[in-house]
Every structure is written in C-alpha cells, then in structure tokens.
Amino acid sequence: MRAVFSWRASSRLLTLHVVRRRKRRTVNDQQAMQIAITAADRARLVSRPNPWVGAVIVTQSGEIFEGSTSRVGGPHAEIVAIRAAEKLTVGATIYTTLEPCDHTGRTGPCTLAIIDAGITRCVVGIVDPDEKVSGRGISRLREAGVTVETGVLADQITAQLAPYIHHRKTKRPFVVLKMATTLDGRTAAADGTSMWITGETARRRVQVLRAQSDAILVGAGTVRADDPQLTVRDIEGDSPRRIVLGEISNEARVNPCTQWTGSLVDLLDELGKQDVLQLLVEGGPTVAASFHREGLINQYVLHLAPAFTGGNDGLSVFEGAGIATMADLWRGRIVSTQQLGDDIEIIIEPNLKAPNQKRIGTNK
C-alpha cells in the first residue's frame, strides 16, 4: 500500500456565522425548531468538521434570536444566539438542533453558557452521538435545574446531520456516489465521452454537492481521460480535498491531491481519522462499482437526463458483471427527488432491511 499526501485547500470568503433577530411572535416547539433547522442549513459550508447546528432563543416577551455554528474555533450556535439576545436570555427557552456540548475543546462548554445566561428551558432535537457529549450535555443542564426536552423534529435533524452522525458512529466518512446517466442507463458513449449528459442546472447542483463534501474522489482513469480540476466553481464554498485512486502525472490539473493505491476500506478508515465527514465519489463506472460491491456507499445521487444512447455499447453506471439472479437484486429506498431543469435527481439510500443487503460502512 502506498499513499502520497499533498493537499492544499482552496478557500473562499464565507460568512462566519448567522445571527438573526425576528419580530415578536408566538411559536410552538415545532415552529421554533424549524427555524433552528433552517439556521443550521446556512452553517453547512462553514462549520465542518464540527456539526452544522442551529439554535433559537425565544424570550419571555416573545422575541426570537437565532444563530448557527461558526467556522472551527469560533462560537457554537448556542453561543451565537445567546450573544444576540444579550440580557433577554433570563427565563428564556433555547432550541438547539443538536445536544449542547459539555466539554472544553477549541471553545468552552455550551452548557455552562446556557446556565449562566439564566435560560430555564432547553429543547433539543437529537442527542449528540459523539462520545465526548452523548447525553452529558443534557444531564448537566438538568442538574442545574434547566428543563430539558428532546426529540422535536428528530427525524428531520437526523437526516440533516447524516454525515456527522455516520462519522461519529463508524469513524468513517459518509460516502455519496454521484452519477449522471441517460434514461437507458449509460454514463458515457462507446468512445468514452460523457460531457455533457445533463444540463446546466444539474451541473450546478454538483457544485453544491462538492461544497458540502470534505473530500472528492475519482479514479486515475478519469483523470487521464478528462483531466478534471474537481474544484468548487460558480457558487460560494470551499473546494474539497481531492483523492485519486491510482497514480497520475504530476502535470494533471487535479494536483495537489492524495494518490491512493490501497484498499477502499483502509482509505475510509484513514479519512475518518482525518475528520473527513463526507466523501463525494465522482468516478466512472469502475470506481462506482468498486464502492457499490463492497457495500461502502451511504447515498446514491443519480442525475437522469431525458436522453438515450440507443444501444448497449456505452458505459453503464456500474462496470463489470452484475447479479446472476434476481434473488440477489440490490434494493434501496428513494429518499428524495427533484427536477433540475430538464433533468431529474433521485437520491437513494440502502435499505438495510432488505434480504442479503450489506450493512453500509462495516463492509459485512
């Protein structure tokens, strides 16, 4: 096994955190948590490797203050909201999508800030799976006399934080496979050309996926054929770390990158240790098939174009031999669909309840 590590991030100026003050109005727990979820979305591109969290403070007089996670080393969402509310926090309720931390890392414990602010009620979306937190924050608040309730819009928040949760539970990144295909299942023509299957709107969506990912991966064959840069373009966001399976020329535009020649499982373990929460796989059919057959993909993002190659000599989504019998058919579940211009995006996740399904992330 051999790995060459040489990576520099290309970064763009992004808002450090979001602070908003809303007009007085009456909100219930679900409405307040929905505001927090929206705030968390705005932190997705800046908070990693920390989780993207939203927090909302509703004062006794009905004023609403919100905040979201800053860049690493900056204040967490709860602190941002508390600072925005200033002295109005006494007797207030705080809503936070993820359990407040109770340890000192790059910043101090959010639990102590909540207690010191005189907040009397804390509504938590989900318990933090991180072993440094995992219930400790809730216990600390309750010991201090703060009323704590959990589980408000938990399913929505679990989906929002899926890469973070997966990383904390498995110590590996959440793997997203993105493929563009024609309606007859082809990702390239017989001569290997694939630009462009989908339209501009779908290609812009790919830039968003890149900005949301900590690393992006392709095979050496894709680098030799297309010489891609794999950077974030035309939208706000940092370019992900670039990884190539195999060895490439020093002149390739994807450089500087990590060139990996070991196993995929070892790669995911290594990236997990380096706080890579989400890995975007944009390789061709050979790379896609390798991840798929080892059961390492957590989410499939398929962009379907209203187009046909008209034959069976083009490249398919997965290269190589498929199943021998329908009893071995891989089945997933569709979690979302949307139209992207003339194209359709379908997001599929593994159905672990299906017979013979591999458990994603454990390679079993």
Q: Is the pLDDT of residue 23 over 90?
A: no
Q: Where do the DSSP E strands lie in the chain? A: 3-4, 19-22, 54-58, 64-68, 93-98, 121-126, 147-150, 174-182, 186-188, 215-219, 241-245, 258-260, 278-281, 299-305, 315-316, 332-340, 343-350
CATH code: domain of residue 82: 3.40.140.10
Percentage of the chain beyond pLDDT 70 is 90
Same-domain pairing of 196 and 229: yes
Based on the fold, state whether residues 156 and 175 are members of the same structural domain. Answer: no
Instruction: Give whole-number Cα distances, 307 to 62, 187, 241, in Å.
Output: 53, 11, 32
Q: Taking all residues of the chain, what is their mean pLDDT, rounded to a whole number?
A: 90
Domain boundary among 134, 160, 186: 160
What count of Cα atoms within 13 Å lies in the side-chain half-sphere of residue 28?
3
Please check whether residue 187 lies inside any domain of the structure: yes
Active site residue 78: yes
For 25-46, what is the mean pLDDT? 94
Q: Are residue 192 and residue 133 in the same domain, yes or no?
A: no
Residue 242 and residue 153 share a domain: no
* pLDDT tens string 176-232: 999 999 999 999 888 888 888 999 999 999 999 999 999 999 999 999 988 999 999
Percent over 90 (pLDDT), the chain = 77
In sequence order, what DSSP letters do the residues of 195-232 get, joined into one string?
TTSS-HHHHHHHHHHHHT-SEEEEEHHHHHHH------
8 A C-beta contact, residue 89 and residue 59: yes
Angle among Cα 362, 269, 281 to the nearest 5 degrees reads 85
DSSP 120-139: -EEEEEE---STTTTTHHHH
Q: Quick one: pLDDT at residue 361?
A: 42
pLDDT computed for residue 334 by the predictor: 97
Same domain, 175 and 143: no
Q: Report pTM.
A: 0.88
Residue 338 lies in a domain: yes
178 with 149, same domain: the answer is no
Cα separation values, 91 from 78, 79, 116, 134, Å: 15, 16, 11, 26
Q: Kindly report, residue by residue over 85-125, the tens digit of the pLDDT.
A: 999 999 999 999 999 999 877 778 999 999 999 999 999 99
pLDDT at residue 13, as a whole number: 37
| Whether residue 147 is found in the same domain as residue 282 | no
Cα 70 to its chain centre, rounded Å, is 16
Residue 209 lies in a domain: yes
- How confident is the model at residue 1, as a pLDDT? 36
Is the pLDDT reported for residue 318 higher than 60? Answer: yes
How far apart are alpha carbons 232 and 319 in whole angstroms? 27
Q: Which is the catalytic residue, given 78, 99, 282, 345?
A: 78
In the chain, what is the greatest distance between 2 CA atoms, to the nearest angstrom?
A: 69
How much is the pLDDT for 14? 39
Residue 2 has pLDDT above 80, yes or no: no
Residue ranges making up the domain that contains 248? 171-350
Say if 3 falls within a structural domain. no
CATH number of the domain encompassing residue 305: 3.40.430.10
Tell me what pLDDT residue 186 has: 94
- Within 10 A of 229 (CB to CB), how many other CB atoms are there? 14
Given a contact cutoff of 8 angstroms between Cβ atoms, the answer to whether 185 and 251 are in contact is no
Provide the pLDDT for residue 220. 95
Q: Residues 138-159: pLDDT tens digits?
A: 999 999 999 999 999 999 999 9
Work out the burial of residue 14: count CB atoms within 10 Å of its CB; fewer than 13 is exposed, 13-18 middle, 19 or more buried: middle
Confidence of residue 73 (pLDDT cuts 50, 70, 90): confident
What is residue 108's predicted lDDT score, i.e. its pLDDT?
81
Domain count, the chain: 2
Q: Which of these, 245, 277, 48, 260, lies nearest to 170 by C-alpha position?
A: 277
Q: What is the DSSP string of 292-338?
A: HHTT--SEEEEEEES----SSSSEESS-S---SSGGG---EEEEEEE
d(CA 280, CA 319) in angstroms, rounded, equals 19
